[in-house]
Structures are given as C-alpha cells and as structure tokens.
Amino acid sequence: MAQADRPQEVAVAFRLLRQIRTMARSSFLPLLLVAALFVVPAFVPSPAPRSVPNTAATSAAAGLLPLLVVQPAMAEDYMMPPSWPFLLVFAVLASALLVVGNFIFPGKK
C-alpha cells in the first residue's frame, strides 16, 4: 500500500515545486518596479533653481568665525567625565565575554 501512494506523493511534490517557481518568476517584476519607485527619485535633479551665494553674508560669517570659536558651548557649566574608565570597563567586559565564550564553545580540537 505504501508503494502505491509513493508516485502520487512525488507528483504532488513536483506540482508544488512548479507552483513555487511560477510564483517566484511572476513576483520578480512587481518587486523590481517597487524597488525602482524608491530608487529613481534619488537620481532626479531638484526642480528648485540654483541660487548664487551671497558674498557679503559669506564674508561676514567668515569674519565672525573667530569670535564664535573662542568659547565652546556650555564650557563653564559642564564638566565632562574622563573617558578612560569607560574604555577600560568596556575592554575588560568584552574580553571576558570572549574568554567565557571560548570556554563554553571551545571549537574543534
């Protein structure tokens, strides 16, 4: 009885494979069109006209730049903590994780 069902199961499996291939072929073009909808606007130039840079504003900003650089933002109220302890803790934890992982999963010997 099992031998009689075998050709029928194979035929069903081949039909399923044929349907999957057909669906894969038929879904390629719509997916390509959807991808094109997202990608094509990146290569279209902007409709806004190009403006000529204002040389007076540019020169005024360049002249005021040294005055702006003198004192950084929040320089008097904010004390930044040193970063080397955080780097040390990160390095110790990362290396400990790798060492513990190596003990648990030693790999091929």
User: HEC profile for 95-107?
Assistant: HHHHHHHHHHCCC
Please report which residue ranges of 1-82 form alpha helices under DSSP H. 2-39, 55-69
The DSSP symbol for 80 reads P
Residue appearing with tokens 């006209």:
49
Give per-residue pLDDT as tens, 11-49: 888 888 888 888 777 778 888 888 888 777 676 676 777
pTM assigned to the model? 0.27
Q: How many CA atoms lie within 13 A of 13 on its CB side?
A: 6
CA distances from 73 to 45, 67, 70 (A): 37, 13, 10
Give per-residue pLDDT as tens, 49-97: 777 667 788 888 888 877 777 666 655 656 667 788 889 999 999 999 9
